Structure 1
Amino acid sequence: MLGKWYARWMFAWETALTTRDENRVVRPIEWGFEWLDDFLREHGVGSASHAPVDAKVAQEWMIALNETIVRASDSFFSYEQPCDYRLEDRHPQLFPTNVRPETLAQDAKFKALAADGKLKTAQFLRFTSPVRTPYPENDLVNARWYPAPEEKQAGKPKQAMIVMPQWNADAFSHNALCSLFNRFGISALRLSKPYHDIRRPAELERSDYAVSSNIGRTIAACRQAVVDIRCCLDWLESQGYEQFGILGTSLGSCYAFIASAHDPRLRVNAFNHASTSFGDVVWTGQSTRHIREAFEEAGMTQQKLQKLWASISPVSYMERFASHSKKVLVVHATYDLTFLREYSLEVLRSFSELGVDFVSKVLPCGHYTTGETPYKFIDGWYLGSFVYSAFKQLAAEPSRQNPVLESVRDEELLSR
């Protein structure tokens, strides 16, 4: 009886949190081939200028394109390393994605403190993303830099985490985790995802272009996020860092997984809410009801959406992920109405079948309530203790070269 009451209370609380923002916009479905035109041309799939007008043909085109991306994902997520890395000092800003009075008041408070010189500046890593969009502000990557104190890094390899918050996160989300990692002697880059906070185009109130009913643009946003993560690793290496990890929450978890599947440098992986299929989450999640509405109006089904976003679904890269040596944490929530529990359990089953070295932790709450007291402290303990322990184990391993360089050397030896 108590369990049933708790479940009803949790589902009601979760629903209230996912419905309090009234600035979600239902946009018509768009295929968005133009966002992937370079890949279309490079792989002989066609070109955006010759994309079919007929909806049924366009759908089959997009499904075929996803299949090609998965087969050629090395090419899709490849990049040329940026040459304009720089650290920028500025006052932190909130960049809220909702218009609730309390949030706007908080934003105004931070701006006033900055104007009065009472707010400390922070360092941000900036560089131009190798994946370009029509929005210059989005293409200037932003990552708040949290270098660990030198005395806490002494006596071990230099270690760093890349932190990817949830969809529609403001610019302060997950900053506390970065400060926590610093206490362990682990530096952190808190990366702004495409179309988020300072990267958000002025025409938007929310980070809608990261996930929307524009299928091609949503794929391109994931591509940009994965490439930006890998570029951050390059910069960290240039600063002398040797061991790397990534923490992603919700949408950030999806981006983090795909980046890690394509980059063996990411040895420590913390997935805070996880699912197998991007399309399943959008179709069944409470926070994406407005996107599902657009697809339903176009006669789309959940099964079709799975295929249309297969190229940005973790399930497509499970075996690739498992082929690298990694330490993994998966946190999921029992009463999650955004990443349904059944999909998180699919991730755990896949990891078990593929022999991934993972730890599973379960929160007695939902997706949005993870950010509420007391659950945020439980979640923080799971994440922080895992990252501390995983990096401690890595530091104790016998000295080895960068795994990417080792792989290149092995291939050279075999070719002789």
Structure 2
Amino acid sequence: MAGRDNDRILYPFEWGLEWIGAPPEAGDAAPLMAEYSRKAMQSSEEFFSYRRPSDYRIENQHLTFTSPVQSPYPENNRVHADFFPCSRSNGRAVLVLPQWNADASGHVALCKLLNRFGLSALRMSMAYHDRRLPRGLRRADYHVSPNVGRTIHAGRQSVVDARACLDWLEEQGFRKFGILGTSLGSCIAYITAAHDHRIVAGAFNHVSMYFGDVVWTGLATRHVRQGLGESITQEQLRDLWRVISPATYLDRMTGREMPSLLICARYDTTFLPEYSRRFIEESRKRRHTIHEVCLPCGHYTTGQFPFNLLDAYHICRFLKRWL
């Protein structure tokens, strides 16, 4: 199914130094970007810190606020989230982050199912997605692209926006938080959980080690790989994008005793199974509290019958149990 989408645009490789605060003429881009990424990883607590928004607005269960991380695109700077309250939730809420290129209906059915399991849900649109698409774009190309700096910036923005959503939920009286992410949303959800101790349970729907390896080898991102061309190696990309990679923050989860549901797909051509297995092995090695599910399908067929029912059942049962 990853090969059916012919709406992809091939963008050229760019270092994107302006996205990390360096002028384009700053000099040799590769070492500058490497140093930026290294420092961001060393001080990730600061990198993913933010000023709490002061302009939350809820209307017809639709939440909006200004993103604490600004981009040049006004549409993207307004965070959108849909709230699905449950009267039986008893202070429990799940923050939901759908997959890359999900439209505004993505995971809405899953949020309603969480309600049936007695949990409130808040579905957030990640940076550059659906209602946050800059004018002229039809896909969330700016979240994952051959522009190295912009991709880092987008990852940081989505993590910070997710944490700001938790702030709003907290203001509404919720006290026990879970997080659910699918594919790209799983990556953002894991990094968010690693930096926010308010999250006590996480369901990570498709897992992998390094952001760069997924983009380099995945069928769904082959157009991004084409755009990267010969300008960078897989090893370089892996290193530069470590700051937005779940594997970088495995040690931050050690000692948390946060139950995590790690879901992979046996025939996944986007999050290759060897990368998923390694992530699960590294989590076990650190004695994380993990629950593993391997679905007998591919990446995109996870969202198709009957696998979508299996997937949703595992997720909802897990979150109900641990929240």
Which category describes the TM-score, using the shorter chain as reference length?
A: over 0.9
Cα drift, residue 187 of structure 1? 0.7
Q: Secondary structure at the match of 1:331?
A: strand
1-structure distance, mates of 2:206, 2:145:
20
Aligned counterparts, 1:22-37, within 5 A:
22-37=6-21
Q: Does 1:131 align with 2:64?
A: no
Cα drift, residue 34 of structure 1? 1.3
Q: Tell me the equivalent position of 2:80.
A: 142
1:180 to 100, 105, 113: 113
Aligned counterparts, 1:365-384, within 5 A:
365-384=297-316
2:57 to 63, 78, 86: 86
- Deviation per CA, 1:299-353: give whole Å up to 9, x if none: x221111012111111111101224231100010000000000000111111111
- Deviation per CA, 1:54-113: give whole Å up to 9, x if none: xxx311221121111100111111100000001023xxxxxxxxxxxxxxxxxxxxxxxx
1-structure distance, mates of 2:24, 2:142:
22
2-structure distance, mates of 1:197, 1:322:
35
1-structure distance, mates of 2:40, 2:250:
15
2:206 to 273, 292, 299: 273
> RMSD between aligned alpha carbons?
1.1
Q: Tell me the equivalent position of 1:162.
A: 95
Q: Does 1:48 align with 2:20?
A: no
Q: Secondary structure at the match of 1:137?
A: coil
Structure 1: where are the runs of 5+ without partners?
Answer: 1-16, 38-46, 90-122, 392-416
* Native 8 Å contact 2:209 2:278 kept in 1: yes
Using the aligned pairs only, state the percent identity. 49
Aligned residues: 323
Q: Secondary structure at the match of 1:306?
A: helix
Q: Does 1:250 align with 2:234?
A: no
Q: Tell me the equivalent position of 2:249.
A: 317
Cα drift, residue 297 of structure 1? 3.8
Which consecutive segments of 4 or more residues in structure 1 shift more than 4 A? none
Letter in 2 for 1:86: R
Cα drift, residue 356 of structure 1? 0.6
1:220 to 135, 153, 174: 153
Q: Secondary structure at the match of 1:190?
A: strand
Letter in 2 for 1:207: A
Q: Does 1:211 align with 2:144?
A: yes
Q: Secondary structure at the match of 1:226?
A: helix
2-structure distance, mates of 1:316, 1:264:
17
Q: Secondary structure at the match of 1:209?
A: coil
1-structure distance, mates of 2:185, 2:141:
15
Letter in 2 for 1:376: N
Q: Tell me the equivalent position of 2:38.
A: 67
* Native 8 Å contact 1:168 1:206 kept in 2: yes
Letter in 1 for 2:224: I
* Native 8 Å contact 1:264 1:325 kept in 2: no
Q: Does 1:193 align with 2:126?
A: yes
1-structure distance, mates of 2:19, 2:255:
30
Q: Tell me the equivalent position of 1:113.
A: none
* Native 8 Å contact 1:84 1:128 kept in 2: yes
1:356 to 278, 285, 288: 288
**Structure having the higher Rg:** 1
Q: Does 1:20 align with 2:1?
A: no
Q: Secondary structure at the match of 1:386?
A: helix
Q: Secondary structure at the match of 1:18?
A: coil
Letter in 1 for 2:107: H
* Native 8 Å contact 2:16 2:24 kept in 1: no
Cα drift, residue 182 of structure 1? 1.1
Cα drift, residue 49 of structure 1? 5.5
2-structure distance, mates of 1:223, 1:244:
20
Cα drift, residue 372 of structure 1? 1.0
User: Which range is displaced more, 254-263 or 26-35?
Assistant: 26-35
Q: Secondary structure at the match of 2:51?
A: coil
Q: Does 1:231 align with 2:164?
A: yes
Structure 2: where are the runs of 5+ without partners?
Answer: none
Q: Tell me the equivalent position of 1:347.
A: 279
Structure with more helix by fraction: 1
Cα drift, residue 51 of structure 1? 2.2
Q: Tell me the equivalent position of 1:76.
A: 47
1-structure distance, mates of 2:26, 2:209:
29
1-structure distance, mates of 2:229, 2:53:
40
